[in-house]
A = this chain, B = another copy of it.
Amino acid sequence: MSTTDLSNSVIFPIGEVLESDHFNGTVWLKMLTPVGSACPIANVTFEPACRNSWHKHAGGQILLVTGGRGYYQPWGKPARELHAGDVVNIAPDLKHWHGAAKDSRFIHLAIEVNPEKGPATWLEPVSDEDYNKLQ
């Protein structure tokens, strides 16, 4: 991990390790907004090679990348490599995953859009075969 990655990873608090069956490795989560916020925002830090399962959000989601190197992939399209300063606007009900590259942490703010439309729907894991094609 480069010095740049390290400095970027601590802009917002790293929070606690998230215990979840929807990630294949270690991920840290810190909520930045109060419970019940109309605009829930989390700071999410993926350890290298950690990614979430395929999932979708009824109201959509926005990712603001603050550090590291990672990927976002919408269903049926190639994965997009992400770095600090990248922004991903994810449409409602679009199946996708995001997570770290093999050799880098990956840190993004995750903003839940229209949370009143309901929680995320979690689907199958990203296969090792698909993930291992990424550099």
| A→B interface (CB under 8 Å) | 7-8, 10-13, 32-34, 37-39, 41, 59-60, 62, 64, 66, 84-85, 87, 89, 109, 111, 113-114
Contact = CB atoms under 8 A, between A and B. Distances in A.
Q: Which 10 A-B pairs have the closest CB atoms?
A: A32-B87, A39-B113, A11-B85, A38-B113, A12-B85, A11-B84, A38-B114, A33-B89, A39-B111, A11-B66
Contacts of A41: 62, 64, 87, 111
Identical chains bound together, number: 2
Contacts of A10: 85
Q: Is the interface of A mostly helix, strand, loop or mixed?
A: loop
Contacts of A13: 85
20 contacts: A7-B7, A10-B85, A11-B11, A11-B66, A11-B85, A12-B85, A13-B85, A32-B62, A32-B64, A32-B87, A33-B62, A37-B89, A37-B113, A38-B60, A39-B39, A39-B113, A41-B62, A41-B111, A66-B66, A111-B111
